Amino acid sequence: MTDSPAAALRALLARPGLLVTPSCFDALSARMIERAGFPLAFMSGFAVSAAKLAMPDTGLISYAEMVGQGRDICNAVSIPVIGDADTGYGNALNVRRTVQGYARAGFACAMIEDQLAPKRCGHTRGKQVVDRAEALSRIRAAVDAREDGADILIMARTDANATHGFDEAMRRIEAFAEAGADILFLEAPKTEDEMRAFCAGAGGPCMANMVEQGETPVLPPAALEALGFKVAAYPLTLLNAAMVAMAGALQALAEGRTPDGMLSFAELRDIVGFNDYYAAEERYAGGAGPEK
């Protein structure tokens, strides 16, 4: 019997070294992450909102849309996936339901944050956070869902650094750790000193969010590991690269050219599962099965 996604993530967290974690936005991008050899993926709310709705990450996408996309993603891969669960989509009881739903969808971990709904991307303007007591109640509800049987880890995120300063953000991180969060995430530290202080004071595994041209310094993996991070997520890298590639291909078509850098048709068929399908099809060929 294979480990559950949550058990697989716990095993990864127990190993030495940084977990470089690309972010997916659909089942195909998740499969590409796994085929590239990464042991962990992250479902980015920004990227899902962009890819599924062509809308900004400003709280417009719903719980049902996110958990449905997550179910498809988790079904497409065998590696564990961390899921962006935003604010939990309501009060503490909504948080419990969200965590339970993410566990049933196959996620290894659900990320719950302390923004005021409707939430926003952590590296864009207009963020607000709830007070510390309400933020802590969300994490307690998430942990209670885990303790009551949801086979999933809890990542606790604060955006308070942008609104209330680093000291308040760290007070929240410490409270989240004491409440039982498995992974801690201080969004948008502005300097390497803040990143180092976060890891030193968090009291648990820490995630770095590497948003190209965002608020946080984008550092190489070795530097992030030296600062104390355990997970480094790249929430927009694949989405950005895919959009650049599509724009280039569309420009080539508009100019009457075949786009450069295309996969062979054989590679494309293999990635989306034709070869596996053909193998299964052959297994069941022949109709009635063995004679008795």
pLDDT value for 118: 77
**Residue in 221, 255, 246, 250 with CA at minimum distance from that of residue 17:** 221
Q: Is residue 262 scored above 90 in pLDDT?
A: yes
The SS3 assignment for 264 reads coil
Q: What is the pLDDT of residues 98-130, one digit of tens each?
A: 999 999 999 999 999 999 987 777 666 678 999
Q: Is residue 166 scored above 70 in pLDDT?
A: yes
Answer yes or no: are the C-beta atoms of 238 and 29 closer than 8 Å.
Answer: yes
Handedness of CA 131, 134, 140, 146 (dihedral sign): negative
Mean pLDDT across the stretch 204-217? 96
Mean pLDDT across the stretch 218-241? 98
Reported as a pLDDT band with limits 50, 70 and 90, residue 291 is low
Q: What is the pLDDT of residues 141-157, one digit of tens each?
A: 999 999 999 999 999 99
Bond prior to 56 in cis (omega within 30° of 0): no
Q: Which CATH number fits domain 5-243: 3.20.20.60, 3.30.70.20, 3.30.10.20, 2.60.40.10?
A: 3.20.20.60
- Per the prediction, the chain carries an average pLDDT of 95
Q: What is the pLDDT of residues 49-78, one digit of tens each?
A: 999 999 999 889 999 999 999 999 999 999
pLDDT, greater one: 174 or 286: 174
Q: Which residues contact 101 (CB under 8 A, 6 or more apart)?
A: 63, 67
